[in-house]
C-alpha cells in the first residue's frame, strides 16, 4: 500500500516538494491550500506531467482538510514568505498564528502522522506545532540542517573547484544567524577542509552559509529559495516513508543532549518511519559546544517571543 503524503501550502516550496516527491514515487500526494483553486491547479499540472516523466500515483489538490485524512507524513510549508530585507524572526507571530490554526485540523485528520515543519522561523514553528498538536515529540521534526548543510557543501565545492559529490559537511543549531557550521567535520573525500582552506576562507564560507537564504532573496527580489528547500524536504520524506534510517541534521527535541534540554534544536538524528528515532551526540570541542549552546539560547529567546 502506498504511503500518503500531505503538503500544507502550495506555494513554490510546497509545489516543488510535490514535484520531487512525485519524481521519486514516494507515495500518493495531497496538496492543500486554503486559497480555492491554487492547490487544485498545481496538482493537475503535476499530474499532467506524469505520462512524460513516468511517475504513476495519485496527486490531489484541495482546500478541504478532509482530503488529507490518514496521511503518513504531513509537511507544513504554509505561512507568509520573507520579503527582501526581512529577517526570519519578523515573521514570527504572523506565522505562529497561521501554523497554530492549521495544527488543530492536522491532528483531527492525521493523528498518527509524522509532521515535518518548514514554515519560518522554523525553530519557533516546531515549538508551535508541538504545543498545538500534542503529538509525541519524536513525530515532530523541523527542516533546516539539511538545507544549511547543502548550502555549506555547495560553497565548499565552488571554492575548491571540486564535485559536490565529494563534499561532506554538517550544520547544527538554529536556522539563522546562530547556525553552527562545523568545519572540523567537513571534508572532501575524507580530507578535512581545514587542510585545504585557510581560516579566513573557511570563515567566509560559514558567513555565506548563514546568509544563504537572504542572498537568494536579495537576487530574486520577489521570491525566496525553493528548489533547495524542497529538495531537503523531499529527502526527509523519503527517509521516513521508506524507513531508511538515515543520519541527517534536523530540528529535533532535546532531552539533555549536548547539555541542552526542553527545546527543539538542529542536531544530527537517526530519521526513520517513527520520525526522530535517536539524537546522535557528536564529540564537540569546547568552542563548538559553546556555539551550539549560544544557538540554543537564541532559539529559547525566539520561542519566548511567541504570542498566540
Active site residue 175: yes
Among the listed residues 73, 88, 86, the one whose alpha carbon sits nearest the alpha carbon of residue 144: 88
Q: Give, in order, the Cα–Cα distances in Å from 149 to each of 92, 179, 196.
A: 23, 10, 19
Specify the residue for cell string 534536523: 250
The catalytic residue among 175, 185, 211, 255 is: 175
Q: Which three cell numbers stand for residue 93?
A: 507571530
Spatial separation of the C-alpha atoms in residues 96 and 91, rounded to whole Å = 8
Q: How far apart are alpha carbons 50 and 308 in whole angstroms?
A: 42
Pick the closest to residue 172 from 146, 141, 137, 139 (CA basis): 146
Q: Residue 51 has which C-alpha cell?
A: 505520462
CA dist., res. 93 & res. 35, Å (int):
21
Residues 164-180 as b/e (b if ≥16 CB within 10 A, e otherwise) read: eeebebbbbbbbbebbb
How many angstroms separate the CA atoms of 266 and 295, rounded?
9
Closest CA to 10 of 35, 44, 47, 45: 35
Q: State the catalytic residues.
A: 175
Amino acid at each position: 500500500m502506498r504511503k500518503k503524503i500531505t503538503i500544507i501550502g502550495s506555494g513554490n516550496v510546497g509545489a516543488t516538494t510535490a514535484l520531487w516527491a512525485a519524481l521519486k514515487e514516494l507515495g500518493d500526494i495531497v496538496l492543500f491550500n486554503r486559497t480555492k483553486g491554487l492547490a487544485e491547479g498545481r496538482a493537475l499540472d503535476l499530474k499532467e506531467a506524469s505520462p512524460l516523466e513516468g511517475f504513476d500515483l495519485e496527486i490531489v489538490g484541495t482546500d478541504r482538510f478532509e482530503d488529507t485524512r490518514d496521511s503518513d507524513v504531513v509537511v507544513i510549508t504554509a505561512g507568509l514568505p520573507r520579503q527582501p530585507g526581512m529577517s526570519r524572526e519578523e515573521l514570527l507571530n504572523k506565522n505562529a498564528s497561521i501554523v497554530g490554526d492549521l495544527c488543530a485540523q492536522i491532528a483531527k485528520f492525521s493523528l498518527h502522522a509524522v509532521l515535518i515543519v518548514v514554515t519560518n522561523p522554523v525553530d519557533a514553528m516546531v515549538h508551535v506545532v508541538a504545543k498545538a498538536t500534542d503529538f509525541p515529540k519524536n513525530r515532530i521534526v523541523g527542516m533546516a540542517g539539511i538545507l544549511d548543510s547543502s548550502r555549506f557543501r555547495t560553497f565548499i565545492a565552488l571554492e575548491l573547484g571540486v564535485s559536490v559529490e565529494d563534499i561532506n559537511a554538517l550544520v547544527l543549531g538554529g536556522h539563522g544567524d546562530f547556525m553552527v557550521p562545523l568545519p572540523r567535520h567537513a571534508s572532501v573525500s575524507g580530507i578535512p577542509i581545514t587542510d585545504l582552506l585557510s581560516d579566513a576562507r573557511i570563515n567566509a564560507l560559514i558567513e555565506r552559509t548563514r546568509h544563504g537564504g537572504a542572498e537568494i532573496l536579495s537576487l530574486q527580489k520577489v521570491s525566496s529559495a525553493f528548489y533547495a528547500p524542497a529538495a531537503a524536504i523531499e529527502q526527509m520524506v523519503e527517509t521516513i516513508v521508506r524507513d531508511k534510517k538515515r543520519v541527517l541534521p534536523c530540528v529535533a527535541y532535546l532531552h539533555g543532549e549536548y547539555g541542552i534540554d526542553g527545546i527543539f534544536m538542529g542536531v544530527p538524528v537517526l530519521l526513520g518511519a517513527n520520525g526522530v528515532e535517536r539524537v546522535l551526540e557528536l564529540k564537540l570541542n569546547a568552542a563548538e559546544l559553546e556555539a551550539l549552546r549560544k544557538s540554543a539560547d537564541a532559539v529559547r529567546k525566539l520561542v519566548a517571543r511567541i504570542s498566540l
